[in-house]
Amino acid sequence: MQTILVLGAGRSSSALIDYLLDKAVSHGWKIIVGDMNLGQARQRIGGREKGEAISFTIEDEANSAEVIRQSDMVISLLPAHLHVRVAKHCLAHKKHLITASYVSPEMKALHQQAYDSGLLFLNECGLDPGIDHMSAMEIIHRIQSEGGTVTSFESFTGGLIAPDTDPGNPWRYKFTWNPRNVVMAGQGTARYLEDGQIRFIPYTQLFKRVTPVQVPNYGDFEGYANRDSLQYRELYGLSEVKTLLRGTLRNHGFCAAWHILAQLGVCDDSYSLNCEGLTHTGFTELYLPSGPLPAEERLAKFFGLSLQSPEMHRLRWSGFFSHEPIGLKQGTPAQITEHILNKKWALNPDDKDMIVMWHRFRYDKNGKPGEIQSSLAVTGTDATHTAMAKTVGLPMGMAARLLLEGRITTRGVAIPVFTELYKPILQELKTYGIVFTELTRD
Amino acid sequence: MQTILVLGAGRSSSALIDYLLDKAVSHGWKIIVGDMNLGQARQRIGGREKGEAISFTIEDEANSAEVIRQSDMVISLLPAHLHVRVAKHCLAHKKHLITASYVSPEMKALHQQAYDSGLLFLNECGLDPGIDHMSAMEIIHRIQSEGGTVTSFESFTGGLIAPDTDPGNPWRYKFTWNPRNVVMAGQGTARYLEDGQIRFIPYTQLFKRVTPVQVPNYGDFEGYANRDSLQYRELYGLSEVKTLLRGTLRNHGFCAAWHILAQLGVCDDSYSLNCEGLTHTGFTELYLPSGPLPAEERLAKFFGLSLQSPEMHRLRWSGFFSHEPIGLKQGTPAQITEHILNKKWALNPDDKDMIVMWHRFRYDKNGKPGEIQSSLAVTGTDATHTAMAKTVGLPMGMAARLLLEGRITTRGVAIPVFTELYKPILQELKTYGIVFTELTRD
């Protein structure tokens, strides 16, 4: 019997654990789910056959080593910075590892050791990164196999809410993923390739330099650039590409309003302030010049906005000018902003999230330009069975299955850009309703 | 014979060393000037009596200990982060220390030890911080001694250029101080007090949230906030103050143009890029969306500026759209921007710099409000004998004299907010033409 160890039973684990338990009987697997919170791990297993919940923390080195030693493969859903500690145990005990996180420099440094040990440390195998890589590579390989050259690749993914969820929410957004990462998104400088030239976008301009995206049947979106698109030129094998941009998708109008929050300075996590007794509008005040007008009017004036502008409407709806107490004693601006936003952006039990992914490929074939747009929309069932958990978890579960079945030859630290991975996974994802729609222009 | 050890013979040292050598004969002092560059130290001494140049680097611990042991007092002009290493030698060998730099947390931590050893570690004793503290305290103490309460204190200082220097330079600015600090000025978040309320200004808004300043006979200036004004509420003894803002002064229009550079992202020092063969305009391009128009027009459009705006005029004058090669192989955006700016902003030998300082005090006295504005302008002689070197160096020389004469009782880590320091120093500064002008409104 083969044992799969899943580390972490948090928000994104439900679909993965369900998938593994579903396959466990026919495949003769045992699924061990480890979490700091044993009750949470037990709940994910729900008493099903072949499942076992254990208490787990990577801080307990001896126990971590032992449970990893006893498994055949590890899937880590721990916070990204902990994956390398898991990977070191995997190296010591010769176990494969799967994660949905970006390859960190520390993880990358383990490539040769993993390769020499005949192990696969598969990362970026969730939604974004994950399904985006796989669906992009399928089309890139198809264009290339038909003699075409990809000249431009743009790709945006967003975790949004379904059209019928919270219809009065002008942002068309709620927290379906780590709220802290949402508030601090984009800090630093993004780099991408456009018309053959490297371009940089500092945080100050990130939410102003957006790409408009129309997804047939799903409406108008916009994308802002992710940290570093350039590395995918090599990883995707796009040596001739002139434009290469990966980013985050939001509903139209989100970015212009978020730009105001970024400019205001309320997403800063570098210092802490006392906010006992402070109201929402009192917090906003801290970032405005003083004056006789109310905070709302001063903010609008300072940024040259009308009070009726969509940006002001979104800030008002989120409560940034309300006299409600914040309800925190102390926090960084980012923590306070997250706390305020969470009052409106926390998912209600019946809320449905929605994943939207969009790729645009431009290519030259036989001297003629062509374009393919490929898009995906997946809607969640409720606040537990989210589209996010499904699209992040299923690719990892499917990769685990393929690997245990001996159908994957890739070794070392890798991401799912190889045919042997993306082809069967994309095929199986279709049976779960995860299907891309293509629009081709010649 | 008493020995004063001056560490560092750079840009800011000329006036200090001249002052000390002038006083050395009558006071029976020996002045030792230590620098990594022995020739530079010798040049500052210029063969004068009582002076001795030595080769010095704080990295040579044994030699540093020995030369500090043999002196009676140390004046450190080394880069600010090195002062604490000097201070530790001073503690070991029981020597006083004077610097013109802000008190760092590490320096502050030495307070009790210095105090218990009967030593004065006097910091912030240059121009800004330095003369600003002294001149402000003189007026604050005067208002308080007359029964008044200071309700507002704003103070701005700038190292600018004289009106007849480089008349075509629209920024009215050149590098008269560490250029790197100028390019990276304001990164982080400034905090100050306004109308009884703490306020934060993130870097993104710093050059937009300016205070207009008129200095009689000197024209229109504007000030942007320094990092942390709040701490001076306690240091200045301003328990009742409602507005407290310290900042940097620039000529009118400087900040609006610099705001564009800050927004563009070219003052970032966090990553390096290859700029071999890159032109000025090519560098600017990296931060702009692509398009058919020239970089200049795209930048203007992106920021909503007309091509004839004062901001665009300044950027154009500085060469940000020129096809001249940068002339660096590699650099951070901040280093490249400094390099481009330096082509126009380096001081010519005959250029005259100008220091402008401006304070505004508002107070209540006998139930009635009053206001005092106090300003200072000092013009340099040439690119060596700058107003900057004079106003930074003389206060340290004078503090050293007073201390060696046994006229200072303050001990521990301190700044010159005490009467025994500021009164004689401000008096003596007048004999060097450093005289404040007051404008009082009752």
Buried b (16+ CB within 10 A) or exposed e, A238-275: beebebbbbbbbbbbbbbbbbbbbbbbbbbbbeeebeb
Compute how many other C-beta atoms are within 10 angstroms of the C-beta atom of residue A367. 5
d(CA B410, CA B196): 31
- Contact B286/A198, CB-based, under 8 Å? yes
Same domain, B301 and B181: no
Query: Does some domain include residue B232?
Result: yes
Q: Per the domain annotation, does B430 fall within a domain? A: no
From the CA of B230, how many Å to the nearest CA of chain A? 13
Contact B153, B236 (CB under 8 A): yes
Do A235 and A199 form a contact (C-beta atoms < 8 A)? no
CA-nearest residue to B262 within chain A is: A204
Q: How far is A171 from chain B (nearest CA, A)?
A: 23
Q: A299 CA to chain B: closest CA distance, Å?
A: 12
Top residue of B184, B197, B201, B204 to mutate, by most chain A CBs within 10 Å, is: B204
Residue B285 lies in a domain: yes
Q: What is the mean pLDDT of residues A172-198?
A: 93
Mark whether A150 and A82 lie in a shared domain: no
Asked if B197 lies within 8 A of A333 by C-beta distance, the reply is no
Interface contact flag, A290 B200, Cβ < 8 Å: no
- Residues of chain A found within 8 Å of residue B333, distances taken between Cβ atoms: 200
Taking 70 as the pLDDT cut, the residues of chain B under it are none
Q: Could you report the per-residue pLDDT of A190-203, keeping only the tens digit for each?
A: 999 999 999 999 99
Do A371 and A243 share a structural domain?
A: yes
Residue A166 shares a structural domain with residue A46: no
CA distance B287 to chain A (A): 5
Distance CA A256, CA A223 (A): 11
List own/partner pairs for B425-430 with CB under 8 A and 24 or more apart: B425/B134, B425/B395, B425/B398, B425/B399, B426/B131, B426/B134, B426/B135, B426/B138, B428/B394, B428/B398, B429/B131, B429/B394, B429/B395, B429/B398
Residue type, A416: P
Q: Do B57 and B172 fall within a single domain? A: no
Residue type, B28: G
| Residues 300-359 of chain A whose Cβ lies under 8 A from any Cβ of chain B | 333
Q: Chains A, B: CB contacts under 8 A, how many?
A: 77
Closest CA to A287 of B205, B425, B184: B205
**Residue B216: its pLDDT value, please?**
81
> What one-character-per-residue DSSP string does A383-404 give?
SSS-HHHHHHHHHHHHHHHHHH
Let me know if residue B441 belongs to a domain: no
Secondary structure element (H or E) that encloses residue A332, with its range? none
pLDDT per residue as tens digits for the range A386-441: 999 999 999 999 999 999 999 999 999 999 999 999 999 999 999 999 999 999 98
Describe the crossing of helices B310-317 and B295-302 by its angle, rounded to 10 degrees.
140
pLDDT, residue B288, reads: 95
pLDDT per position as a tens digit, A40-87: 999 999 999 899 999 999 999 999 999 999 999 999 999 999 999 999
Identity of the residue in B200, B205, B264 whose CB atom sits nearest the CB atom of A263: B205
Q: What is the pLDDT of residues B152-180, one digit of tens each?
A: 999 999 999 999 999 999 999 999 888 99
Cα separation, B43 vs B205, whole angstroms:
44
CATH for A243: 3.30.360.10
Q: With an 8 Å Cβ cutoff, is A189 touching chain B?
A: yes
Which of B200, B263, B333 lies at the smallest CB-CB distance from A204? B263
Specify whether the CB–CB gap between B203 and B216 falls below 8 A. no
Q: Name the percent of chain A lying above pLDDT 70.
A: 100
Distance from CA of A89 to the nearest CA of B (A): 33
A436 inside domain: no
- Comparison of pLDDT for A201 and A178, the residue scoring more: A201
Interchain proximity A265–B205, CB inside 8 Å: yes
Mean pLDDT of all residues in A86-115 = 97
* Cβ proximity of A435 and A373 under 8 Å: no
Note whether A288 contacts B205, CB cutoff 8 Å. no
Task: Tell whether A19 is covered by a domain.
Answer: yes
Chain B positions touching A202 (Cβ under 8 A) are 263-265, 268, 287
Mean pLDDT across chain A: 95
Asked if B82 and B226 sit in the same domain, the reply is no
DSSP A152: E
The C-alpha atoms of residue B391 and residue B34 are separated, in whole angstroms, by 21
A33 and A169 housed in the same domain: no
* Contact by Cβ (8 Å): B50, B29: yes
What is the model's pLDDT at position B384?
Answer: 86
Check CB contact of B198 with chain A, cutoff 8 Å: yes
CB B83 within 8 A of CB B121: no
Q: Considering Cα of B414, then B417, then B418, then B420, what sign does the dihedral take? A: positive
Global confidence as pTM: 0.89
**Looking at the structure, do residues B30 and B117 belong to the same domain, yes or no?**
yes
Cα distance between residue A230 and residue A248, in whole Å? 15
The answer to whether A318 and A171 are in contact (CB under 8 A) is yes
pLDDT value of position A363: 97
Same domain (yes/no): B251, B293: no
> Are residues A374 and A234 part of one domain?
yes
* The token pair that represents B294 in the structure block: 């020239």
pLDDT attached to residue A217: 83
CB B148 within 8 A of CB B364: yes
DSSP one-letter code for A81: G
Over 80: is that where the pLDDT of A338 sits?
Answer: yes
Same domain, yes or no, for B290 and B214? no
> Any residues with CB less than 8 A from the CB of B440 and at least 6 apart, and which?
B370, B371, B372, B373
Q: Assess contact for A377 and A215: CB atoms under 8 A.
A: yes
Residue B159 maps to a domain: yes
Instruction: Kindly determine whether residue B200 and residue A286, on different chains, have CB atoms separated by under 8 Å.
Output: yes
Rounded distance between C-alpha atoms, residue B7 and residue B17, angstroms: 11
Phi and psi at residue A41, in whole multiples of 5°?
A: -65, -45
Residue B32: count of CB within 10 angstroms of its CB: 21
A299/B271 Cα distance (integer angstroms): 32
Are residues A104 and A165 located together in one domain of the fold? no
Residue at which a domain ends, from B68, B102, B123 = B123
Q: Is residue A408 part of a domain?
A: no
Domain count of the fold of chain B: 3
Indicate which CATH number applies to the domain containing A95. Answer: 3.40.50.720
- Full residue range of the structural domain in which residue A86 is found: 2-123
